[in-house]
Amino acid sequence: MGKVKRKIKTIRIDADKCNGCRACEVICSAFHATPKYSSNNPARSRIRMMRDPLRDVFIPVYAGEYAPAECMGRDKYVIDGKQYDECGFCRASCSSREIFKEPDSGLPLKCDMCESDPPLSEPMCVQWCLNHALVYEEREEEVEESPKPEEMEIGLEALAKKYGLEKVMDAVARLGKKG
Ligand code: SF4
Ligand code: SF4
């Protein structure tokens, strides 16, 4: 398999520019509401602003991967003499805390970079951050080419020969449910 170019989308966070206005939370939850823009609730947002106004601390944090188990440690950060709360910058949706979970269903929330059709010029939270604390950036990276459908078929055939068709079908069905 050869290498192919893939577009990597990132949002650079300049926490010094964040004033805690929470516009990013409002627009993210509205953009992902069904129907779109029918409601807004920061608890459904995939970006949350971690705040400690008395110490003038505002840090936007994006929802990342779901973590099925709590981690064993609790990180504390001290930056410029200010201590930040345990788990303060963590992006995971995990069982230790309520953040990054859909309030009604409890399902994990994850930033999807506002994937939509037609695509947006920039993610909504970036467009709504008037302080430019969130800056959208794109770059290209070379990655291994994904297997073509016919190569996957050959791969599945080999697995079926080795483990039996039923077991392979079960595993594929389980993977489908996880997605
Ligand atoms: S919109 Fe920008 S300034 Fe406002 S809370 Fe979000 S990141 Fe901070
Ligand atoms: S990029 Fe889109 S999905 Fe991700 S936090 Fe911003 S508004 Fe929400």
- Closest-CA residue, ligand 1 atom 3, reads 18
Q: State whether the beta carbon of 129 lies less than 6 angstroms from ligand 1.
A: yes
CA of 46 to the centre of ligand 2 (A): 6
C-alpha–C-alpha distance, residues 66 and 87, integer Å = 14
Mean pLDDT value of segment 156-177:
62
> Would you state the pLDDT for residue 178?
43
Tokens of 141: 């990276």
Closest alpha carbon to 31 in 47, 50, 45: 45
Q: State whether the beta carbon of 64 lies less than 6 angstroms from ligand 1.
A: no
C-alpha–C-alpha distance, residues 151 and 11, integer Å = 35
* pLDDT, tens only, 44-84: 999 999 887 777 788 899 999 999 888 887 878 887 787 77
CA of 46 to the centre of ligand 1 (A): 13
C-alpha–C-alpha distance, residues 161 and 145, integer Å = 25
* pLDDT, tens only, 93-117: 998 888 999 999 999 999 999 999 9
pLDDT over 60 at 174, yes or no: no
pTM for the structure as a whole = 0.77
